[in-house]
Structure 1
Amino acid sequence: MSDEQPNQPHESISSRSPFLPLKAFNFFLYGAIAIFASFFPLYLQDAGMNKLEIGTLMAIGPFVSLIANPFWGYLVDRMENTRRMLILMLAGTLVLAQFVFHAQSYTMIYLTMVLFFFFQSPMFAQSNTMILGYIDGTGRKFGAFRLWGSIGWALTAAAAGYVIDRTGTTPGVPWLFTGLMGVTLIFAVVLPSLRRAADTTTVAPPGGFRAVLANPSFAAFLLLGVLVSIPNAMNGTFMTLYITDLGGSRELVGWAIFSASVLEVAVFMIFDRFFRRRLGFMMVCLTTVSILFALRWYLMSTVTDPVNIIYIQMLHSVTYAGYFYVGTLMTSMFVPDAFRGTGQALFTLSWSGVSGIIAGIFGGWVFDNFGAPMMYQSGTVLSIIGAVGFAAMGYTLYRGGHLAPLAAAGKR
């Protein structure tokens, strides 16, 4: 595809409308990852792994993301072509998944998972960067495209639970993941070209991470995000195992995942309608979301009937979607356009990188030795600490008179 006009100040697209294939791309991308994130732990359990082994293996992804996200974020900013980089990530993920599913030993599966996560872990961050690039200057809202990811996650999980309950995790999980990832790659290829114009004022210079983290408010936001995200990552890894330990079926797992995501559509639409790009408003939102996270984990620690998890999971639509939406846009406010990919990579590292490593190892150890209720109780405590931290951060910025200048900067 031909490159676009060279003298525009932001990423531009070809004359073909990207919006329909962009929605389809998000639908199938999130559907594919829903299969992997939700049913792969069951696949490993059926292969004979215990909770700590599963948690350790899944922690490889966040660990690798500490390297992969900066690497791909830097490439996106330097190459100025988010779509092309995403196509490369998708192709690598699709190929390496076949080695993961056909590994014959623990050593081989650990090795192949390292390579798999190197391509897979940055995809969410860079897909957000791509959405922001396509809608830049169009008046379109981020949530209107991201909600298609939630629809894909919810519907795919419900359908997959039914299928896997009847076919088993093998071959159900490999077939479904491969098929959906293949369709995602096709839609990425048919998207019109997206390329930032060659303007020296927008090209990212070296030292992007230092420049981004030099903002102390953004650094504090990332650190508090780690605390709030650890229990969310523990739930993402072990919730399906918790359901089956309580006697629930694979189909029930699918419905629990469906209930967690189906209302995200409404949440994104509400945020698109009422959200205000003011830092004070954002800090209130993050504090509220953290409190709701704490409530969610406390309720999970009291469950005795696996069916109740379906209802508790509905809070995911408010907690995760709210944190994700606010965090993505807050990152775009704190970070200059030239470091857009780097900033989103750092945000992803905070809620799935560092927190994911701790969640996989610590969560697996607590689950194995003390049970799931204790794991969720520890998550309740971390979320409360995060809520207090966000409230204190908002108050500090208010007392320092920083809210108004940052809000104005966010309206670039």
Structure 2
Amino acid sequence: MESSSLSRSNLTSLRTFSFTIYGTTVLVSTYFPLFYAGLGFTSSQIGILYALGPMISLFANLLWSIASDRYRTIKKIMCILLIGQIIMSYILSISTSFSVIMLIITVFYFFYYPVLPLSDTMAINAAREHGKSFITIRIFGSIGYAFFALVIGYVLSLIGSHRTMWVTMTIAAIALIITLFIKDQSTPVAKMNMSGIWSILRQKELLWFFGCVFCLALSVRMNDAFLTITLKDLGAGENIIGWAQLASSCSEIPIFLFLSLYGERFKELPLLIFASLVFATRFLLVGLTDSAYAIVGIQLLHSLSFGIFYVTSIRMLTRLIPDEFRATGMALFTIVWSSASGLLSGTFGGMVFQELGRRQFYLIAMGFALAACLGFASRYLHRGPGLRAGKSTGSSKNV
């Protein structure tokens, strides 16, 4: 009975933690660009600042995740990361120079980017330990994102976007307190070594998967970096921007629930093909519309694009990557999905947005999504009957 009580307590703490850390994600993806714009930075400068995070996360994700696997602790590393975020946020709050902010935001990203893959690793481990679905924990991140997208928008409309960093510090501090109540990872893991990583990366199917994910991620990160700027250019205030983020995050919740219950009935590749096609449609519509309110409605397609893609990709990763390298595997996925793609899309996207305008920007994003769709489709069509039927050596249960 005591063990059952401790399990429920740990799962509750993990769900609360997942809920809270997505508040910082809302700020970084949605309101940091407005903070930069408020300081007078150009679209190209904002693109450079956006690209710095993915560049740093290329090694930050691996560094912290390898340390987690090697020392068998996620909780302690999570505390270090959150403390680093608080300190860097304070320094950013008193900085106005582009060169200074470029330096400080680089360090901030070093502490920010590894939090989500490590959080997902904790959730996956806890879900398997307690016989639960990973989605029953991760869905609270979506709820948290929806909550903070709306609340932060209203808060910043009252106190001003120049106080964005103070909101960041508050949310990181709350997450740090919650971390103290989370049970540390107790699942035995193998000692990390590079030969194990190379053995994973030599898998042709995994390399193909990462290649398609990277292509899709280019379009997604372009949209992430400049959606708020697009809304601002169309006359939207912080409240409307908050509603746009709320629409996207709320829309993914029923998809997460549906796939957690019935996802195993659907093959991975058809789901990824469909999600990529919806991403392409979504970016085309954003590029064509001239209404900020229409974009709020278009954001509902987030459910059929990101919602399906995320659950399916995590399911595929757990099949392709051995359990003992799970933290590092999640870090590799994050590097492809967020880091490498964000680095290119931030610098390239900033120049395209400034020089060619919004419509051409989103048409290019649509092109990348369609390329990913073709990549997933070609792999599906060229697989043998057994693989096409979805047979695998691993198990994706409880993911």
Q: Is 2:315–2:396's contact at 8 Å kept on the other side of the alignment?
A: no
Distance in 1 (alpha carbons) for counterparts of 2:8 and 2:149? 32
Which residue of structure 2 lines up, in the alignment, with residue 48 of structure 1? 40
Q: Normalized against structure 1, the TM-score is what? A: 0.91
Aligned pairs for 1:76-225 within 5 A: 76-171=68-163, 173-197=164-188, 202-225=190-213
Q: Is 1:230–1:379's contact at 8 Å kept on the other side of the alignment?
A: yes
Residue 22 of structure 2 is aligned to residue 36 of structure 1? no
Distance in 1 (alpha carbons) for counterparts of 2:15 and 2:390? 34
Distance in 2 (alpha carbons) for counterparts of 1:176 and 1:192? 27
Give the number of equivalent residue pairs.
394
Q: Is 1:165–1:250's contact at 8 Å kept on the other side of the alignment?
A: yes
Which residue of structure 1 lines up, in the alignment, with residue 238 of structure 2? 250
Which residue of structure 2 lines up, in the alignment, with residue 409 of structure 1? 394
Q: Is 1:301–1:374's contact at 8 Å kept on the other side of the alignment?
A: yes
SS of aligned partner of 1:78: helix
Q: Is 2:92–2:165's contact at 8 Å kept on the other side of the alignment?
A: no
Distance in 2 (alpha carbons) for counterparts of 1:59 and 1:41? 12
Deviation at 1:265, TM superposition (A): 1.3
Which residue of structure 2 lines up, in the alignment, with residue 378 of structure 1? 364
Which piece of structure 1 moves more, 297-306 or 71-80?
71-80
Letter in 1 for 2:220: N
Deviation at 1:209, TM superposition (A): 2.6
Q: Is 1:328–1:347's contact at 8 Å kept on the other side of the alignment?
A: no
Distance in 2 (alpha carbons) for counterparts of 1:334 and 1:386? 19
Q: Normalized against structure 2, the TM-score is what? A: 0.94
Task: Go from structure 1 to structure 2 and tell me whether the alpha carbon gap of 1:272 and 1:239 turns closer, same or farther (over 3 Å shift).
Answer: same
Which residue of structure 1 lines up, in the alignment, with residue 55 of structure 2? 63
Task: Go from structure 1 to structure 2 and tell me whether the alpha carbon gap of 1:154 and 1:193 turns closer, same or farther (over 3 Å shift).
Answer: same
Deviation at 1:406, TM superposition (A): 5.3
Residue 244 of structure 2 is aligned to residue 259 of structure 1? no
Unaligned runs of 5+ in 2: none
Deviation at 1:86, TM superposition (A): 1.7
Task: Go from structure 1 to structure 2 and tell me whether the alpha carbon gap of 1:183 and 1:223 turns closer, same or farther (over 3 Å shift).
Answer: same
Distance in 1 (alpha carbons) for counterparts of 2:103 and 2:230? 27
Task: Go from structure 1 to structure 2 and tell me whether the alpha carbon gap of 1:277 and 1:107 turns closer, same or farther (over 3 Å shift).
Answer: farther
Q: Which of 279, 296, 299 is the equivalent residue of 2:285?
A: 299
SS of aligned partner of 1:38: helix
Distance in 1 (alpha carbons) for counterparts of 2:134 and 2:105? 31
Distance in 2 (alpha carbons) for counterparts of 1:146 and 1:158? 19
Identity rate, percent: 28
Which residue of structure 2 lines up, in the alignment, with residue 9 of structure 1? none
Letter in 2 for 1:194: Q
Which residue of structure 1 lines up, in the alignment, with residue 338 of structure 2? 352
Q: Is 2:74–2:118's contact at 8 Å kept on the other side of the alignment?
A: yes
Distance in 1 (alpha carbons) for counterparts of 2:234 and 2:196? 47
Unaligned runs of 5+ in 1: 5-12
Distance in 1 (alpha carbons) for counterparts of 2:25 and 2:291? 27
Q: Is 1:96–1:116's contact at 8 Å kept on the other side of the alignment?
A: yes
